[in-house]
Structure 1
Amino acid sequence: MRFFDLDLPDVVADKARRLEAMDTDTSHITLVAVDFGTADVAEVLAHAGHDAQQPTLFIAEHLVLFLEPGGVERLLAGVSSRAASGSALAITAEVHPAGLESGLVVSTVDDVMFSGAGPLHTIRSRDAWLALFQQNGWQIEDADEVTAVNHFELPVAGRSVQIQTQFITATA
């Protein structure tokens, strides 16, 4: 089995350093640094040697939170265009309750938790996440079934809001 690990450049550099320090066989792992803000994810995968004719499990674990919304859309569209029949996508996504404006939630998280440093960029309602998946060619089965962990709670628009990390899976 071959693994392609696409991540932010600093994260890939850290992973490479750690794997080298472990002195382990990494011949089945392809680490690829990606600027999700500008890169065409499909092209990146193709250039790295991904076979778009083979079913693939795409995993984005604790990544999309750190991407700008446009980068998230490029990621979902890019892996969708490389997904053969039988492929699946699994992501962890930060989810706020319905009825809140996502930009307000992100800016509040930034102010309250990071004093304006801004490392987190994409927090959406579950319905918005599901719609984004579908807009980019992914099918959600059992959309009402939620696997989640409460991540943090903070005040948004005068009320206490629970932000969850949800595990969302879809098929091509």
Structure 2
Amino acid sequence: MPVALIFQLQMLLGYAAWLAWLLSYGLPRARAMTPDAVHRAIAMVHAFRFFGLVFIVPGVVAPGLPGSFATFAAWGDLATGLLALLALATFRVRSLFRALVVAFNLVGIGDLLGNYYHAVRLGLPEVAGQLGAAYAIPILYVPLLMITHILAFCLLLRRAPRAVPVTHDAGER
């Protein structure tokens, strides 16, 4: 079986597994939480994106890994992770927290989409072995990151429930 096909199949199965987890465990739990608490949990997942710097560590990835992919992926992940950490640090300042939630999700999804673009343009699936120890990142971690970004955007775009005016019956007092 060609390496590119194995890589793409594993990535697809990574998405399937994380979607199954989300539908079975993640969404039921999220429904019991406030939107800010869900965003906080998502930020905790993305706070570990500093790990993407591994793409530019010699010896962890092979020298044949396309440099333009590695550099973009590494610095985009670091930026997203730092914004997520800032969001966590400002959780009690709701307006700042929400602004940073929007920021890390925009930067993060832009990073992932840019990484997909670079991977396809540079033929990364054909040389996936060049990822070395970082091979697990696009297979196991990236699907979770993309799914949680989509969940965050769904929460951000969802309308807040309208306040229902309270009326008092003449008989109540």
The answer, yes or no, to whether TM exceeds 0.5 is no
Larger-Rg structure:
2
> Which has a greater percent of strand?
1
TM-score norm. by structure 1 comes to: 0.24
TM-score, scaled to structure 2: 0.24
Structure of higher RCO (CA pairs closer than 8 Å, 6+ residues apart): 2
